[in-house]
């Protein structure tokens, strides 16, 4: 008869309760740190989305203004009304940075109406961004110089829904200044 015997294990190794508690404590500290950073990351992401949409609104307005056809009158080129409804003043125009023209945009940088339309707060094209555009026309002494255009995009649109002056109450903003050469 053949007998086989297995060797006996001596000094079995395992984690102690103290080691398990310390490992759980370190893991909990790391998870709490990560969860504490999530709101900051989400806020940064939302701000980036808002800034990108606002830049798209401003780009759409600039493209609309540059595509506006010229209307000539009394040997001075002046602009008419753009597709979005902006009236670009000529050298003798009365519009200036003190009287902005206002239009509202949705969250997809799509206009929810024309210049001067009311704020849409329901439906699929809700107004989330307010775009104010101010023109500084060229001086009458040099009518061939460029018109300066100031574009201020603010959100939320409800912050200044009826004001006809430059907005002062908003959560975020994007501003652009460009020259509009109408020669």
Task: Say whether pLDDT at 77 is over 60.
Answer: no
What's the domain count of the chain? 1
The answer as to whether 16 is a domain residue is no
The answer as to whether 13 is a domain residue is no
The answer as to whether 11 is a domain residue is no
Q: Which two tokens stand for residue 26?
A: 């370190």
Q: Return mean pLDDT, the chain.
A: 82
Q: Which two tokens stand for residue 18?
A: 């103290």
The single residue listed with the structure tokens 């109406």 is: 113
The answer as to whether 12 is a domain residue is no
Q: Which of 5-9, 101-105, 140-144 has the lowest mean pLDDT?
A: 5-9
The answer as to whether 152 is a domain residue is yes
The answer as to whether 5 is a domain residue is no
- Model pLDDT, residue 151: 95
Print the domain residue range for 152. Answer: 25-180
The answer as to whether 147 is a domain residue is yes
> Is the pTM here over 0.85, yes or no?
no
Q: How far is CA 34 from CA 27, 38, 39, 48, 155, in A?
A: 11, 7, 10, 21, 30
The answer as to whether 53 is a domain residue is yes
Task: Say whether pLDDT at 40 is over 90.
Answer: yes
| CB within 8 Å of 77: residues ≥ 6 apart | 70, 71, 90, 143, 182, 183
First-to-last alpha carbon distance for the chain, in angstroms, is 113
Q: Which two tokens stand for residue 84?
A: 């979005």
């Amino acid at each position: 008869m053949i007998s086989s015997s297995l060797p006996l294990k001596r000094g079995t190794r395992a984690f102690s309760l103290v080691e398990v508690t310390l490992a759980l404590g370190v893991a909990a500290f790391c998870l709490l740190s990560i969860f504490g950073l999530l709101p900051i990351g989400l806020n940064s992401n939302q701000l980036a989305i808002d800034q990108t949409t606002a830049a798209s609104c401003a780009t759409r307005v600039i493209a609309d203004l540059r595509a506006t056809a010229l209307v000539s009158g009394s040997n001075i080129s002046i602009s008419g009304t753009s597709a979005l409804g902006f009236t670009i003043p000529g050298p003798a125009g009365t519009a200036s940075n003190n009287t902005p023209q206002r239009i509202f945009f949705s969250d997809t940088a799509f206009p929810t109406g024309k210049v001067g339309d009311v704020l849409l707060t329901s439906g699929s094209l809700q107004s989330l961004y307010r775009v104010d555009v101010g023109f500084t026309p060229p001086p009458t002494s040099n009518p061939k110089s460029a018109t300066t255009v100031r574009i201020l995009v603010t959100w939320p649109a409800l912050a200044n829904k009826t004001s006809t002056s430059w907005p002062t109450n908003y959560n975020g903003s994007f501003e652009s200044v460009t020259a509009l050469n109408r020669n």
